[in-house]
Structure 1
């Protein structure tokens, strides 16, 4: 027989074999033993945590001829047929490739037929979030009231994409990431069963790289064993996972601790030249900083350090760092990680990061630093200035209440506040003009219709910032958002995470790419007018909701009224 991957050979066959999901397996076992199983289940959670395995075990358990306390016996004909994937009454469906309405209608038509061999006909639909909206609708009624001898088990890694109407018709179980200790215990069991020599530090590296997924852990272990000719060593694990060796990370962190950017860059180049992944590198830096913070805490937390990372050399280096510097490094590395995911120039970002965290001026962030003192002094000056302005405004209000509006001019000159956009934040007029060039009323209405859904997808902070904005123009490829206050416009314009979230969420809801352009509301009329004048177009005929009224003939009285009261306050009507 051809070689099978470890995760297939060691797939759990009973609930007791499932690792790291004790609450879920106990609940399912009790339900089978008491014959109180539901007609529909939803298993959700990260990849490789046992969702499909539990679904197959449950399908066997409810059909087993000789169950033991809710566990399948794996000896009867039904269990053997299920283990060999030849039981016709257990139907596995991959929703990624069978996501249309017709496939679900086919299930709905066949579900009324009784099982051929087993007690229950069990449908296991994997990656169910990939079903289309029409397919979900077709599944609703059947899922709510299936025949007595039918069970549905839905599995997904993205439960947020499943309609609430589907979730409400199922018993939902959330699978958690498997702990590092459970991963290590399972891999040790497998290696001992196969009589394979292994290095414990190598297993630690594999368990950390698996990120809580048993399937990932066994796949990486398979690769490492193939690379090392049926022997697991530390070097094999590092090569397969792309993890850094202790010598490499010690050399890099020593240069950082000594505030020597040149040495740090030299160490960086050697690490990248060895083929190490930039993402893995940044993850290792964060793990090292985390362990150093625990070590510096001088509490029981230091017992939770990762011994495979905190060698004696690393412990010696940690004495050169204080927690403020370590927190600073973690912040900088986290920012770099976000940039690495969207860029091909990983080396450049790693060079910038290395120089930032190794420069002497950021080695210690103390309360007595001159920079902070200067900031405080500047803030104090602003407070004094604002206090004077408030006092002056109070005096003017007092004059108005006593002498009337006419005498205000005799008092101090009013404080003028400029309404202008921060120089650092510039208006993207090119993008705005592009939207205006193709804007229609229908697109604007569509944008307003989806906006409540967009707001619900944002974080609490982002939602608060966007509450003072609204869509004012839209085309198929873009939406212009006007902000009530210039300050919020500036903050939103500089928040790249917010811009990315808006773009992704809107594009997902509209089902095509869509750019979000921002503008202060008080500048929006001027920008529209400029576009109209420069392009000689009539936005009224383009169904733009926010369009200016068509030009009309005016007389001197109208012009004078506009000068006195402004265009917004004057409404000219024909007799």
Structure 2
């Protein structure tokens, strides 16, 4: 009867276990030094040699040529364990024997000595499937078994095993087998079996196996059955569901050229050919990964996982910018995650390809180049301006025909209404100012009587400075008081109403800090050429002048 390749070529020695040298070397040294443990835990992905290593260990500890680093596979013990005729090596599937009763049966039988060989070896496969009660039943026996018993626990999910079990075992973590190691093993098997093959086909199978030797040999077996006389690349692509390099080159070229129709046509043909969408998007991600790797490190050609270095691949590597590849891979990764939770994987792929073709990556790159060009022009213009400043001839100072006016004092805190104040000064009279001053005390008293002490406090250090028939100027000693008064709507309204009550007419008023008032007044005098009437003495009366001439100033009393 025909047997599958992975059964025919199952490792019989530690040297046959591919890609696990860190495990096999340790076990071989322990066998030579006769320092084997009573319990081992083999963990790792499927198809990496855990159960095979356990059986090899069982043969080695019972080999009649002990101590040896490898079983001889010739003595009765090795042959009997290999064909399963020796009952002292017990292999248990914990997935179907996970109850407490099965483990109790083991616990009761371990105390009996082996009948044919030196050690009883219990190989418990998928040990994480045991129930908690079964683990508890195994616990004491696993910690202190009889000297003639060895336990080997194998699992793909060590995190499900209680820590009390793990702590009683020597743990060995099996790793995924590299693609190159898988290819080398398949080449050896094909050569020994007389199979005809293309080497690239073995690379396709190794990539699809995801680090598992058993999966790789199963796919190789399937490819042999599918092919006629020779295992070709197309045969390997068909049985693995992968996409050929030619299709990937065409698809990536269509995406780069923003050709939505071409990319969707390629996708439709691949789906009709039976390609798995999940496998397809994984191939595309790996292709872009290889494209980026080839751009940044072209000497690492052997590190390419999915792509093969041909003319189309090299041309695409030159045409597509790394920034575009980053964005493509982000979209593909997100689509891959979404496809895991949907029954409409093809629709997700179609939307993904449309999105990839409509991305504005190239436009962004061109826009970035345009911005860089614009910045370079700005720098050039700034340099020219600096040169003009340095080389500009110094102009001779021209004599001024008119005296320059004294610049007005600027105040960032408060700036008085200069135009309004000038208007009041132009119409000011002494009579209007005296009338305002005569009622100033009454104004403050009225504010206090009406419980408006805050408004009255603002006017305590203020006084009228100039007045016209329609308006007057209030001079504040402190700028902050002026600012608070002129920006307080309630103050302005109340003060205007009280002035109207006291004077019998409505007057406007404007506030000014004392320093600003002095500057405005001085500037007004320079421009007008005379003193305002209310700020100096009244113009002398002609009759009074004549009286002074006649009798002198000491005998004259002037009453206003």
TM-score of Structure 1 vs Structure 2, range by shorter chain: 0.5 to 0.7
Contact preservation (8 Å) 2:44, 2:50? yes
Q: Distance in 2 between matches of 1:302 and 1:46?
A: 27
Larger radius of gyration, structure 1 or 2? Answer: 2
Kindly tell me: are residues 306 and 133 of structure 1, through their superposed partners in 2, closer, same or farther at Cα, counting changes over 3 Å? closer
Compute the displacement of 1:363 (Å).
Answer: 4.1
Compute the displacement of 1:316 (Å).
Answer: 1.1
Q: Distance in 1 between matches of 2:10 and 2:304?
A: 31
Kindly tell me: are residues 303 and 75 of structure 1, through their superposed partners in 2, closer, same or farther at Cα, counting changes over 3 Å? closer
Q: Which residue of 2 aligns with 1:239?
A: 238
Q: Which residue of 1 aligns with 2:61?
A: 62
Contact preservation (8 Å) 1:67, 1:73? no
1:19-67 CA-partner distances (Å, limit 9, x unpaired): 1111110110111111100000000000000000000000111011114
Q: Distance in 1 between matches of 2:321 and 2:117?
A: 65
Q: Distance in 1 between matches of 2:288 and 2:302?
A: 15
Q: Which residue of 2 aligns with 1:212?
A: 211
Q: Which residue of 2 aligns with 1:514?
A: none
Q: Distance in 2 between matches of 1:10 and 1:230?
A: 21
Contact preservation (8 Å) 2:58, 2:121? yes
Q: Which residue of 1 aligns with 2:337?
A: 338
Contact preservation (8 Å) 1:43, 1:175? yes
Q: Which residue of 1 aligns with 2:155?
A: 156
Compute the displacement of 1:229 (Å).
Answer: 3.4
Contact preservation (8 Å) 1:59, 1:90? yes
For residues 100-499 of structure 1, what are the structure 2 equivalents within 5 Å? Answer: 100-298=99-297, 300-301=299-300, 304-306=303-305, 309-363=308-362, 366=365
Contact preservation (8 Å) 2:249, 2:312? yes
Contact preservation (8 Å) 1:90, 1:122? yes
SS at 1:99's partner residue?
A: coil
Compute the displacement of 1:79 (Å).
Answer: 0.6
For residues 504-515 of structure 1, what are the structure 2 equivalents within 5 Å? Answer: none
Q: Which residue of 2 aligns with 1:10?
A: 9
1:264-310 CA-partner distances (Å, limit 9, x unpaired): 11221111111111111111111111111122215544553358533
Contact preservation (8 Å) 1:140, 1:165? yes
Q: Which residue of 2 aligns with 1:49?
A: 48
1:323-347 CA-partner distances (Å, limit 9, x unpaired): 1111111111111111212211011
Higher mean C-alpha deviation, range 274-283 or range 313-322 = 313-322
TM-score normalised by structure 2 residue count: 0.64
Mark the runs of 5 or more structure 2 residues left unpaired by the alignment: 373-483, 485-560
Kindly tell me: are residues 303 and 15 of structure 1, through their superposed partners in 2, closer, same or farther at Cα, counting changes over 3 Å? closer
Q: Distance in 2 between matches of 1:225 and 1:303?
A: 26
Contact preservation (8 Å) 1:322, 1:364? no
Equivalences, count = 372
Q: Distance in 2 between matches of 1:360 and 1:27?
A: 53
Q: Aligned-residue CA RMSD in angstroms? A: 2.1
SS at 1:154's partner residue?
A: strand
Contact preservation (8 Å) 2:287, 2:306? no
Q: Distance in 2 between matches of 1:13 and 1:302?
A: 34
Contact preservation (8 Å) 2:207, 2:305? no
Q: Distance in 2 between matches of 1:241 and 1:112?
A: 49
